[in-house]
Chain A
């Protein structure tokens, strides 16, 4: 009997797809024989808009490049501007930045947990983790004035002082989360129905992982210990103690376990930050000629480790108030095209959402 091949679009309107993108799948029965990623439903032209804005005006747009975890963008932007203009940041501001980034990482992992569990039909986990994420957002609200988009890490420092009693609130939340993580283990990571779906699915080959430019949990899930916070430390990560968890399976489950361990590392880092946070010191180094601030004709590349892997910015100034070029390198461009298209071949249709969530593909940073 001759087998018929059909072509379907998975997304952009599909609960199992990560954001507004779609994958064109060729199917024989339930098995995928070819996959092609399509983006373009979310193209907002940020890189173009930034070319017509002054540095401080561009600052407000960068956080919108990544919805689940905006802060690495702000950190990258600040790092790049500071590097080009040679601005030093105070120690206190650096600590606050690390704190914000780690809180954002925790929030992003909790959001990922909701997506990943949803993709195997475990709705309860999502409800729990979104609630816990909201508790982190409450802290962000008190600190920065915004829940999701914080616009807080500013070139030269951070924009607001820590509110009264903030570190105590954070400490209490960490205690709470630490207890919750045990419950999550029981409900999700050790759950037989998740393990059954996740083990052995979406296996990334570790031989090609470095060469093809994969980052984050995809690398660490196949046993490669790479993390920008360690390899290329920014802010004061070099002075903080934390481990880089790895797993050897390379499959969806290995990546989930890496994330589970990373949440514990984030809590560890945050506890150190609370203990070491300087009480004195300025939080902001004023930019020279604030509104008419100019960048020299130079270029640079900076990167931070986001919750899904290396997030880099290329920035070129041209001696004027505008930024000549700012190009975003998110983890999703390579993961969403090179990796996803090859990984899906031979998989079942029902595993598409599972794999996409586990790679952490997020279209807003693919097309900016």
Chain B
């Protein structure tokens, strides 16, 4: 196959992109929109969580600890425990939300958390109805 002169010149056509608006966002002034359905942080509706630890059982990364609840919000919560998630281990597979019997555990689209100490990444899901 012979290489033609045209093939050396045609790529220069890319130069016209100089006049286009940049595709990147000016973070932090402009932020990317949260996407509905994105698998971000966990939320747990404490008024329906029954403390059954199904979520802890299914999590193969052993990211979930069941810890004692401060204020009982659900009289049906037999164990008085709610899940807390270690975000150093979680892979956001959302299996825990799949197996939650009352569907109280969910993922929200919020997903930004920066910290300088990885040991602080223990997250108590926000109490939000879904």
Query: Is the pair A187, B14 in contact by a Cβ cutoff of 8 Å?
Result: yes
Interface residue? B95 (CB, 8 A): yes
Chain B, 92-107, contact with A by CB distance < 8 Å: what is the 0/1 string?
1111001100000001
Query: Per-position contact with A for B73-111: 1 when CB-CB < 8 Å, else 0?
Result: 000000000000000000111110011000000010000
Nearest Cβ in chain A — how far from B42, in angstroms?
A: 13
Closest to B35 in A: A141
State whether B58 touches A196 (Cβ < 8 A): no
Which residues of chain A from 157 to 184 have a CB within 8 Å of any chain B CB? 159-160, 163, 183
Instruction: Given A142-B37, A187-B11, A192-B3, answer yes or no on A151-B107 (Cβ-Cβ < 8 Å).
Output: no
Please tell me if B26 contacts chain A, counting CB pairs below 8 Å: no
A57 at the interface (CB under 8 A from B): yes
Question: B43 to chain A: closest CB distance in Å?
Answer: 14
A339 → chain B closest CB, angstroms: 24
Q: Of all chain B residues, which has the CB nearest A150?
A: B39
Contact partner of A131 among B1, B3, B23, B98, CB < 8 A? B23
A56 within 8 A of B: yes
Instruction: Check A146 for interface membership: any CB of B closer than 8 A.
Output: yes
Complex: A188 Cα to B93 Cα, angstroms: 37
Contacts of A60 in B (CB 8 A): 60, 91, 93, 95
Q: Is the interface of A mostly helix, strand, loop or mixed?
A: helix
Taken together as a complex, chains A and B put the C-alpha atoms of A274 and B10 apart, in Å, by 34
Give the contacting residue for A56; candidates B3, B10, B92, B95; CB below 8 A: B95
A145 to B109, CA, bound (A): 9
Contact check, A124 vs B14: say whether CB atoms are below 8 A apart.
yes
**Which one of B4, B60, B98 contacts A192 once the chains associate, using CB atoms below 8 Å?**
B4
| Segment 168-212 of A: residues with Cβ below 8 Å from B | 183, 186-188, 190-193, 195-196, 199
Query: Is B94 touching A151 in the complex (CB atoms < 8 A)?
Result: yes
Closest to A199 in B: B1
Query: When the two chains form their complex, are residues A53 and B23 in contact, meaning their CB atoms are under 8 A apart?
Result: no
Contact B38 A145 (CB under 8 A): yes
Chain B residue at minimal CB-CB distance from A145:
B39
Q: Does B13 contact A (CB under 8 A)?
A: yes
Q: How many A-B residue contacts, CB cutoff 8 Å?
A: 76
How many angstroms between the C-alpha atoms of A238 and B8 in the bound complex?
A: 41
Q: Which residues of B contact A149 (CB under 8 A)?
A: 91
Q: Give chain A's interface residue range (CB within 8 Å of chain B).
A: 20 to 34
Cα–Cα, bound, A149→B39 (Å):
11
Q: Are A192 and B7 in contact (CB under 8 A)?
A: yes
Instruction: Judge whether A190 and B10 touch: CB under 8 Å.
Output: yes
Cβ contacts under 8 Å, A196 to chain B = 3
B72, CB-defined interface residue at 8 Å: no
Select A145's contact among B60, B98, B107, beta carbons within 8 Å. B107
Contacts of A53 in B (CB 8 A): 60
Q: Which residues of A contact B35 (CB under 8 A)?
A: 138, 141-142
What residues of B have a CB within 8 angstroms of the CB of A290 in the complex? 99
Identify which of A57, A138, A149, A193 gathers the most chain B CB atoms within 10 Å of its CB. A57
Residues of chain A within 8 A (CB-CB) of B127 are: none
Contact assessment for B8 and A193 in the assembled complex, using a CB-CB cutoff below 8 Å: yes
Given contacts A145-B107, A291-B58, contact A191 B37 (CB under 8 A): no
B63 to chain A, nearest CB (A): 11
Bound-complex Cα distance A60 to B99 (A): 14
Question: How many angstroms between the C-alpha atoms of A59 and B11 in the bound complex?
Answer: 44
- Quick check: A186 and B60 within 8 Å, CB to CB? no
Within 8 A of A (CB), among B45-88: 54, 57-58, 60
Task: Give the shortest distance, in Å, between B103 (CB) and chain A (any CB).
Answer: 15
Binding site for A on B (CB under 8 A): 1, 3-5, 7-8, 10-11, 13-14, 23, 35-39, 54, 57-58, 60, 91-95, 98-99, 107
Q: Given A141-B35, A190-B10, A193-B11, 4 other A-B contacts at CB below 8 A? A: A138-B35, A142-B35, A160-B37, A190-B7
Q: State the A residues within 8 Å of B (CB).
A: 53, 56-61, 124, 131, 138, 141-142, 145-146, 149, 151, 159-160, 163, 183, 186-188, 190-193, 195-196, 199, 253, 290-291
Residue pairs across A and B with Cβ atoms less than 8 A apart, 26 shown, are A53-B60, A56-B95, A57-B58, A60-B91, A141-B35, A141-B37, A142-B37, A145-B37, A145-B39, A146-B39, A151-B93, A163-B36, A163-B37, A183-B14, A186-B11, A186-B14, A188-B11, A190-B7, A190-B11, A191-B7, A191-B11, A193-B8, A195-B7, A196-B3, A199-B1, A291-B54
